[in-house]
Amino acid sequence: DELVSQIAAGEVVERPASVVRELVDNALDAGATQVTVRLLAGGVRLISVEDDGVGIPHDELGVALKRHATSKIASLSDLESVGTMGFRGEALAAISSIAELNLLSRTAGQASAFMLDGRTGELRPAARATGTTVEVKELFFATPARRKFLKTDATELAHCIEAVRRHALARPDVGFAIWHEGKLVDQWRAATREQRLADVLGPEMVDESVAVDYHAGPIRVTGRAGIPDASRSRSDHQFSYVNGRYVRDKVLTHAARSAYEDVLHGNRQPVYALYVEIDPARVDVNVHPTKIEVRFRDSREVHQAVRHAVENALAAPRA
């Protein structure tokens, strides 16, 4: 019901960037090759995420807004091996309880697109190519107390951009664009991972870094480890991914930091993008509503793999 949805919304949606993250997750789950994010007022007035994915059949548009409506897992045991970004069926329901949400979508088989007005429930034919546009307007309009906690538009915009950057680093094969107030803020075309790292984080992220590529049992660690230059080193250039999902995790951060301390003996901020691939049965992604935290079944094994991966990369002779 409404109250439960609003409580869930509090856990999922903290600020506009949380909405951006959930909507881009959905676009990627739908197989999008191009994702366009449009924002007004740092996302508070409008967040629109447009994709060219498979779309939502018109008779399922209403269902997609219901709590625990997910097309992605059929049983509890599927949770063991979640391959998609979403799986809880919470995001759209939660967002639509705290904002005006409209869905515009077309599947390949449909003669036209359909638009669902989330407020009135009205469904009417509309125009667009195959794919989905989700529009979220006036975030927290019904909860002024929450809205009051938002920062300036510039700060909220920066968080939204960061959310898209995290996705962009995970999926170099997908093109991304971000617009704010009708102006193009950033645009990344589909590329190789190295090119995407350079496009998003700057050329030094590739020029002044070493490749990480390490395999141990059920774990593979790839990516780039930067050679920190005291003048350039930035803590916001630490990205870690587990099975394609951006995570903030103490085990990974600590492992990477230890490797930098061992090899470079400096105390400067390490700079890296690390991609951990692990048997999905060895990691639980269902520990936090925003899925930004994970729990490893054997965190020592992961710590060792990441530490060795980064140590080997940093210690290898460079050309």
- Residues at the contact surface with ligand ADP, assessed by CB under 6 A: 22, 26-27, 30, 51, 53-56, 64, 69-72, 86-93, 132
Choose from ligand ADP, Mg ion, none: what does 89 bind? Cβ within 5-8 Å by kind: ligand ADP
Nearer to ligand ADP, 92 or 273 (CB): 92
Q: What is the CA radius of gyration of the chain?
A: 20
Choose from ligand ADP, Mg ion, none: what does 90 bind? Cβ within 5-8 Å by kind: ligand ADP
Cα Dmax for the chain = 64
Nearer to Mg ion, 46 or 82 (CB): 82
Dist CA 86 CA 202 (whole Å): 30
CA quadruple 176, 180, 182, 186: dihedral positive or negative?
A: negative
Q: CB 274 → ligand ADP: shortest distance, Å?
A: 25
Give the C-alpha distances (Å, rounded to integers) separating 188 from 168, 228, 271. Answer: 8, 25, 21
Q: How, if at all, do strands 238-242 and 272-278 pair?
A: parallel
Q: How, if at all, do strands 131-137 and 100-106 pair?
A: antiparallel
Q: Which two tokens stand for residue 158?
A: 């920066």
Nearer to ligand ADP, 12 or 197 (CB): 12
DSSP alpha helix (H) spans, the chain:
2-12, 16-29, 61-64, 91-98, 144-148, 153-170, 193-201, 204-207, 250-264, 299-315
Q: CB 45 → ligand ADP: shortest distance, Å?
A: 21
Nearer to ligand ADP, 60 or 186 (CB): 60
Choose from Mg ion, ligand ADP, none: what does 79 bind? Cβ within 5-8 Å by kind: none
Q: CB 273 → ligand ADP: shortest distance, Å?
A: 25
Q: Are 33 and 175 in contact (CB under 8 A)?
A: yes
Which position's Cβ is nearest ligand ADP?
Answer: 86
Q: CB 87 → Mg ion: shortest distance, Å?
A: 8
Choose from ligand ADP, Mg ion, none: what does 56 bind? Cβ within 5-8 Å by kind: ligand ADP
Q: Tell me which residues touch Mg ion (CB under 5 A).
A: 25-26, 86, 91
Q: Are 293 and 248 in contact (CB under 8 A)?
A: yes
Q: Are 135 and 104 in contact (CB under 8 A)?
A: yes
Give the C-alpha distances (Å, rounded to integers) separating 283 from 28, 63, 79, 113, 229. Answer: 21, 30, 11, 38, 34
Question: What three-state secondary structure class fits 317?
Answer: coil
Q: CB 232 → Mg ion: shortest distance, Å?
A: 36
Nearer to Mg ion, 96 or 238 (CB): 96
Nearer to ligand ADP, 197 or 294 (CB): 294
Q: CB 117 → ligand ADP: shortest distance, Å?
A: 16
Q: CB 27 → Mg ion: shortest distance, Å?
A: 9
Q: Are 265 and 305 in contact (CB under 8 A)?
A: no
Q: Are 87 and 79 in contact (CB under 8 A)?
A: yes
Q: CB 72 → Mg ion: shortest distance, Å?
A: 8
Nearer to ligand ADP, 19 or 227 (CB): 19
Q: Which two tokens stand for residue 104?
A: 């515009």
Nearer to ligand ADP, 64 or 309 (CB): 64
